[in-house]
Amino acid sequence: MRFLTARRATAFLLIAGMSGCASHSEQTAIWLDRSNPKFKTQGCQDSLAAAELHRDIKTTRMVASPVLLFLSGGLLLPVVAANAGLDTVDHVDAAKMAENCGGESKSNAEIAGEVAAGAAVGFATSGLTGTGLTSK
């Protein structure tokens, strides 16, 4: 009986932990000034609707990336590249949302830096298995 309770607690913590990670679009939507006149425009509302899609994509990536890495036998670079591509789209859409809704938009250089940092962290935390590289 104790094992079943521990198992449920672990499952709850995993689900709660995964749901706490918001996409960049979702984070931008949270920080928008809802009293800004641009917030009520159709362009802003369309951007806000896209944030939900990015949240779903991020949740899927969190589950699918480790599974794909495992099933591929450790081919890390394609998984990191795919995640970096999806992260780039999320960052660009977040910047467009900020612009459309009266917020402060990030520059392309800022977006590139954040995506590169995220890809580097993803690469480092996933290990170097399957890349032909070794760490010393």
**What residue numbers bound the domain in which 60 lies?**
23-126
Residue 132 falls within a domain, yes or no? no
- Split into its structural domains, the chain has a count of 1
Closest to 78 (Cα-Cα) out of 39, 8, 129: 129
Residues 56, 58, 64, 68, Cα dihedral to 10°: 140
13 belongs to a structural domain? no
Structure tokens at 93: 């859409």
Query: Within a domain: residue 18?
Result: no
Longest dimension (CA), the chain: 57
* Residue range 30-82, pLDDT digits in tens: 999 999 999 999 999 999 998 889 999 999 988 888 888 888 887 888 888 88
pLDDT digits (tens, 9 = 90+) for 71-112: 888 788 888 888 999 999 999 999 999 999 999 999 999 999
* Single pTM value for the model: 0.72
Distance CA 98, CA 118 (A): 21
